Amino acid sequence: MIVLGIETSCDETAAAVVTDAREIRADVVLSQLDDHTPYGGVVPEIAARAHLQHLDGLIRRAMDEAGIGFGDLDAVAATGGPGLIGGVIVGVMTAKAIAAARGLPFVAVNHLEGHALTARLTDDVAFPYLLLLVSGGHCQLLAVEGVGRYRRLGTTIDDAVGEAFDKTAKLLGLGYPGGPLVEKAAARATNPARFELPRPMLGRPGCDFSFSGLKTAVRRHVEELGGVLSETDRDDLAAAFQATVAEVLADRCGRAIRRFKEEHPQGGALVVAGGVAANKAIRSRLSMLAEKQRMRFVAPPLRLCTDNAAMIAWAGIERFRLGESDPLNFAPRPRWPLDPDAAPVIGRAGVGAGVKA
């Protein structure tokens, strides 16, 4: 089975060709980083226009790299949400056009499910497994029990961890995107223990997260330094922030592991996915936790942690071989929770974090 995948949910335009033998024949990603850096974040209208401008060319390139024509495809999969709706529409409409013109099945993929199932593409992880999904817009712990079967064990009550990285990078004057820049600064730190930061939710019952207070604490340290940071200040504060995040994630995962093992005594892997999963310090901390808990630890290759179309093609394969596909009147979704039955978590600002896009 050969599937074309299309990803346009945020600021990467991507196309990939993947087979059900877990072979990635082509994986093309065009970053819009230069378009959004001057604004310090993703501008939805700019992102949508860039997807529209580049997607056709990327699909042609992916098909050429895979050495196939449209007649060789068994299905077309595209991110149907959640995400910036303008970009999602571009990808969905392009996939529908290909499917209609070639008489192919169309599969609308939940972007989060793409991340959730990546470990099955790269490492053939068996169900069930425990997933930590960490990205710019999401921070969730989920029991993955099958394709389309996700139970949320914990989520953030305010900021997602990737959002906290971006905001911290901005406070430190590091630029955008925040995650890689904070990690680089932390690696240069000469005194990682110099700054004391709070560990939100550490040791608390349950598996939920909170990062808003941590971001505020970073801002206070910046203000105490007069708002003008030396390179040493930036590096040490970045290291303190990164270590704190890693400790909090490990604590929350530890609680989720205990709950997961009660429900699945036969075991399973601890999987981390999403853009923040590319952070080496976080990977290392979670790997040690998994080893202590006698669980297999799986983190996809760095290039498959950030947004890509290979994961969308693979999720399409997983659904399609179960006999699932979508009609051409499928409506793109700005919000699409993996666990629709999970109760909204009310944060301190009164926002239902459980239904964030």
Average pLDDT over residues 142-166: 95
Q: What is the pLDDT of residue 349?
A: 38
Q: Which residue has the tokens 């609680």?
A: 255
Check whether 102 has a pLDDT greater than 80. Answer: yes
In eight-state DSSP terms, residue 344 is: P
The Cα 322–Cα 81 span in angstroms is 21
Helix axes 231-263, 161-171, angle to 10 degrees: 170
pLDDT digits (tens, 9 = 90+) for 206-240: 999 999 999 999 999 999 999 899 999 999 999 99
**3-state class (DSSP) for residue 262:** helix
Q: What angle do CA 83, 129, 205 make, to 5 degrees?
A: 85
Check whether 306 has a pLDDT greater than 70. Answer: yes
Check whether 198 has a pLDDT greater than 80. Answer: yes
Q: Which residue has the tokens 């179309």?
A: 309
The Cα 54–Cα 65 span in angstroms is 17
The Cα 256–Cα 262 span in angstroms is 10
Q: What angle do CA 328, 19, 336 make, to 5 degrees?
A: 45
Whether the Cβ atoms of residue 95 and residue 78 lie closer than 8 Å to each other:
yes
List residues forming the annotated binding site for substrate: 133-137, 166, 179, 183, 279
Between β-strands 129-134 and 139-146, what pairing exists: parallel, antiparallel or unpaired?
antiparallel
Average pLDDT over residues 137-141: 92
Q: What is the pLDDT of residue 347?
A: 52
Average pLDDT over residues 326-331: 98
Average pLDDT over residues 12-36: 94
Average pLDDT over residues 189-207: 95
Partners of 3 in the β-ladder: 18, 75
The first and second tokens of residue 138, run together, are 């999401």
Report the residue count for the chain: 357
Average pLDDT over residues 268-280: 95
Q: What angle do CA 203, 239, 185 make, to 5 degrees?
A: 150
Q: What percent of the chain has pLDDT over 90?
A: 87
Burial of residue 256 (CB within 10 Å: 0-12, 13-18, 19+) is buried
Q: What is the pLDDT of residue 225?
A: 95
Q: What is the pLDDT of residue 357?
A: 29
Cβ partners under 8 Å of residue 267, min gap 6: 261, 295
Mean pLDDT is lowest, of 29-38, 156-165, 297-306, for 29-38
Going across the sheet that includes 297-298, the strands are 149-155, 139-146, 129-134, 270-273, 297-298
Q: What is the pLDDT of residue 39?
A: 80
Whether the Cβ atoms of residue 236 and residue 194 lie closer than 8 Å to each other:
yes
Other C-beta atoms closer than 10 Å to the C-beta of 221 total 20
Q: What is the pLDDT of residue 177?
A: 85
Average pLDDT over residues 25-43: 87
The Cα 271–Cα 268 span in angstroms is 9
Q: What is the pLDDT of residue 35?
A: 83
pLDDT digits (tens, 9 = 90+) for 340-353: 998 876 553 333 33
**Phi/psi of residue 146, nearest 5 degrees:** 165, 175
The Cα 159–Cα 248 span in angstroms is 14
Average pLDDT, the chain: 93
Domains assigned to the chain:
2-116+304-336 (3.30.420.40), 127-295 (3.30.420.40)
Average pLDDT over residues 150-164: 95
Q: What is the pLDDT of residue 346?
A: 59
Q: What is the pLDDT of residue 345?
A: 67
DSSP 170-207: HHTT--SSHHHHHHHHHHT-S-TTSS----TTTT-SSS
List residues forming the annotated binding site: 111, 115, 133-137, 166, 179, 183, 279, 307
List residues forming the annotated binding site for Fe cation: 111, 115, 307
Strand runs (DSSP E) across the chain, as ranges? Answer: 2-7, 12-19, 24-31, 75-81, 106-110, 129-134, 139-146, 149-155, 270-273, 297-298
**Phi/psi of residue 250, nearest 5 degrees:** -65, -40
The first and second tokens of residue 30, run together, are 């065009």
pLDDT digits (tens, 9 = 90+) for 45-82: 999 999 999 999 999 999 999 999 999 999 999 999 99
Burial of residue 46 (CB within 10 Å: 0-12, 13-18, 19+) is middle
> Would you place residue 36 in the very low, low, confident or very high pLDDT band (cuts 50, 70, 90)?
confident
**Phi/psi of residue 320, nearest 5 degrees:** -65, -35
Average pLDDT over residues 143-147: 97
